[in-house]
Amino acid sequence: MFRTAVRSMAMAAPSRKSLTIGLIPADGIGREVIPAARDAIVAVKSELPDLKFIDLLAGWETFTRTGTALPRDTVQILKEECDCALFGSVSSPSRKVAGYSSPIVALRKELDLYANIRPVVSVQDTSRVDLIVVRENTECLYVKEENLIQTEKGKEARATRLITERASSRIGRIGFELAKARPRKLLTIIHKSNVLSVTDGLFRESVRGVPALSDGKYDDVNIEEQLVDSAVYRLFREPQIFDVMVAPNLYGDIISDAAAALVGSLGVIPSINAGDNFVMGEPVHGSAPDIAGKGIANPVASIRSAALMLRHLGYVSAADKIDKAVNDTLAPAKLLTPDLGGTASTTQVTEHIMGLIKEQYK
């Protein structure tokens, strides 16, 4: 079952009387799949506090209309009024555009969502793929400090890569917590310190140093290491050797996308961006402009992200019901969107999952 991969993330169920969720569809298919995630949450509302949803703006299209990809109102409402949020997808241009920067990267920094947790699990055979990529979410090349200069030999581009002991240690702690609660208790550190001995070397040493500061809490967790290129190779050849993978920002992004190919599609891979005080669900897929508006986007990643977010907040039973409905939809392989080889629409898959959730309450 998909839920076994992340059960260890659940916190104690809070005693709050209400749950306010920010909805940020952003661009492309985000506007089609975030409503499906909202429907899933509403379907389990009997197990949740009073629900309130707030629609918020961000993204490339917001930038083209207003001149900012992440309005200050969005950030302020998230900080002051919301308990959590769901983010869809963003269509960031591949070229430099003056005044534009990715809103999801900015949100992670604004809310200090330092851990991007991405479970990847085979629906029908978890013995093949059942792993979690734990991606550091605030540093590496994603600090976006780039410079382009003209030299006598032509243009020269340089980017600053930031790795700190603090960020590496706290993402390592998240990784150890997840690994400790899983049956295999295996943590694999992903790096390239044979080449990047200073930056990746600090990441490797910082993660390895977490157990020494934990008074024996993680003594039962086995630690392994993989160079990132070798890790990608072995991920495709023998994915079953991995359990929890902890990586710097860029490596974690690439590895989790690659792992999605092992389970059918990016359209089924969820994630949460988690910090100490806030959590935001986010499907791993992009904005998919080639299919946006056609009604064929896979809603599963967003629905699973909603469940992952609820689980992290402590609403385990509600999350279990959503995950079970998704599993029972995907496992028979009878109702699939085109990315999984089927012909079903976004609406058909969403309605089928909602029906299965409701059946669990009968």
Domain 1-113+275-362, CATH number (from 3.40.190.10, 3.10.129.10, 3.40.718.10, 3.10.20.30): 3.40.718.10
- The pLDDT tens digits for 222-245 are 999 999 999 999 999 999 999 999
Tokens of 82: 């919301």
Strand partners, 23: 55, 86
The answer to whether 316 touches 13, Cβ cutoff 8 Å, is yes
The answer to whether 176 touches 188, Cβ cutoff 8 Å, is no
Q: How far is the C-alpha of 122 from the C-alpha of 286, rounded, in Å?
A: 21
What value does the mean pLDDT take over residues 17-27?
A: 96
Give the catalytic positions in this structure. 142, 192, 229, 253, 257
Tally of residues, the chain: 362
DSSP state of 284: S
Q: How far is the C-alpha of 217 from the C-alpha of 273, rounded, in Å?
A: 24
Q: How far is the C-alpha of 83 from the C-alpha of 124, rounded, in Å?
A: 34
Residues 6 or more apart from 177 whose CB is under 8 A from it? 8
User: Residue 16: which pLDDT band, with cuts at 50, 70 and 90?
Assistant: confident
- The pLDDT tens digits for 74-89 are 999 999 999 999 999 9
Angle at 339 between CA 336 and CA 345, to 5 degrees: 50
What are the angstrom distances between the C-alpha of 171 and each of 134, 229, 239?
A: 7, 21, 22
Q: Where are the domains of the chain?
A: 1-113+275-362, 115-268
| Cα 251 to chain centroid, rounded | 14
Q: How far is the C-alpha of 89 from the C-alpha of 92, rounded, in Å?
A: 9
3-state class (DSSP) for residue 198? coil
- At residue 256, the pLDDT reads 92
**Fold held by 115-268:** Isopropylmalate Dehydrogenase (3.40.718)
- pLDDT at residue 157 greater than cutoff 80: yes
Q: Strands 186-191, 244-247: parallel, antiparallel or unpaired by DSSP?
A: parallel
User: Residue 36: which pLDDT band, with cuts at 50, 70 and 90?
Assistant: very high
What value does the mean pLDDT take over residues 290-299?
A: 96
H or E element that contains 110: helix 103-110
Q: How far is the C-alpha of 113 from the C-alpha of 260, rounded, in Å?
A: 22
- pLDDT at residue 11 greater than cutoff 80: no
User: Residue 362: which pLDDT band, with cuts at 50, 70 and 90?
Assistant: confident
- The pLDDT tens digits for 205-215 are 999 999 998 89
* 1-113+275-362 and 115-268, same CATH topology: yes
The answer to whether 287 touches 267, Cβ cutoff 8 Å, is no
Rg from Cα positions in the chain: 20
- pLDDT at residue 13 greater than cutoff 90: no
